[in-house]
Structure 1
């Protein structure tokens, strides 16, 4: 979800409830998880830092809580400076801290609704979780948020507009949830949404392969494509490369992972991203591993599965 929508979805209920003094703090909490948007400025040549990406560490419960605490302490200290304190005439109180935390947790909850998922339980696990309702950001909610922002900036926004915004957001949530429930009921395996809410991609996993098939709510199932999990290699032979950070990074970003041995190398790839079935994440969709780099441990499962 975009940052404008995160901010409005926490700010408007507070405004309507008469808690306007808490709105700035709640908005800060609602947008700070997206601070990971600046991670792209840093080189990603170190595979072990794969969790430091958009939708990564700051989108976990622990990460968002830590950010909230840092933001609260920072604002509390700054409030002792006279020129800064005028921005918070009521002071930076414990309620302000709770508002920051509430905004951050609501951000995590909303992003939990979308693919490719978020690592909710980091640092205990980097497995991604999602309800799979939205295909990442919602274009409809973004349009609503930009419309409301325009009204606010031009001084025309009022209570009626705020209530209408919330109602329409809830309607969109329920519509997408209903579509997701129907798609998952009518298909096997995982049903992954696309930007077109009537079109989905389904993935069925067997011991030997991944079966991928488009599904259209209006026209039914499309032609399936099968991807072999293992070519010229066995799962036992793959056991040695599981803990390599570059392998963990590939699995973290991938929808499916296939393995093929060619000579003294193993090629791991996510064919769905390579073939642009899914365009996000863009990077690290394949990997070539020399067999001499193997270490002990089983090949990790696809970690973005909900």
Structure 2
């Protein structure tokens, strides 16, 4: 999945969560969703986040390969445990959710993800998949964009200005 689709899908699902739960859709939460939606691709130096990682992506790819450790439940669980248990905030909640949404989106891709890494390197994928940069991914992007706009205009932001609360 391309970076902009990861961002929009994370924001759309996160706005849906804010619409139907007590979670507030704040700028900090949205920033966390967007960054978390990109973070697993720190294992690819040519990715949007990898090109901005000051060499970290090269080291991560060398150690684990692309769609290795960073796309596993173990990585998500470790990040979630550290951030939410020790530094809970709207931003860290968004970051952890965005990370999970990224792994879920790549789970639906034809390449799949190694959910059970390091116990198994098998890549799991959903029954229906898409190819990165395909026409279907473009359709997904616009569907998530429409869903994001829908949630923002129908309940994600409860009172005027709440988007700017931290």
User: Paired residue for 1:20?
Assistant: 26
TM-score between both structures, scaled by the size of structure 1? 0.35
Q: From the superposition, tell whether residues 67 and 101 of structure 1 become closer, same or farther in structure 2 (CA, over 3 Å).
A: same
User: Paired residue for 2:124?
Assistant: 129
Q: How far off is 1:115 after superposition?
A: 2.3
User: Paired residue for 1:106?
Assistant: 101
Task: Tell me if structure 2 keeps the 8 A contact 1:5–1:141.
Answer: no
Look at both structures and tell me which one has the larger radius of gyration over its CA atoms.
Answer: 1
Task: Tell me if structure 2 keeps the 8 A contact 1:8–1:145.
Answer: no
Q: How far off is 1:106 after superposition?
A: 1.3
Q: Within the alignment, does 1:163 sit opposite 2:146 as a pair? A: yes
3-state SS of 2:44 partner: helix
Task: Tell me if structure 2 keeps the 8 A contact 1:10–1:103.
Answer: yes
Q: Find the aligned partners of 1:109 and 1:129 in 2 and give their Cα distance.
A: 10
Task: Tell me if structure 1 keeps the 8 A contact 2:110–2:125.
Answer: yes
User: Paired residue for 2:44?
Assistant: 37
Task: Tell me if structure 2 keeps the 8 A contact 1:144–1:165.
Answer: no
TM-score between both structures, scaled by the size of structure 2? 0.60
User: Paired residue for 1:290?
Assistant: none
Q: Number of residue pairs matched?
A: 131
Structure with greater helix share of residues: 2
Residue in structure 1 matching 2:73, options 61, 73, 77: 61
Q: Find the aligned partners of 2:11 and 2:25 in 1 and give their Cα distance.
A: 9
Gaps spanning 5+ residues in structure 2: where?
46-55, 151-166
Gaps spanning 5+ residues in structure 1: where?
77-91, 149-160, 168-306
Structure with greater strand share of residues: 1
Q: How far off is 1:126 after superposition?
A: 1.6
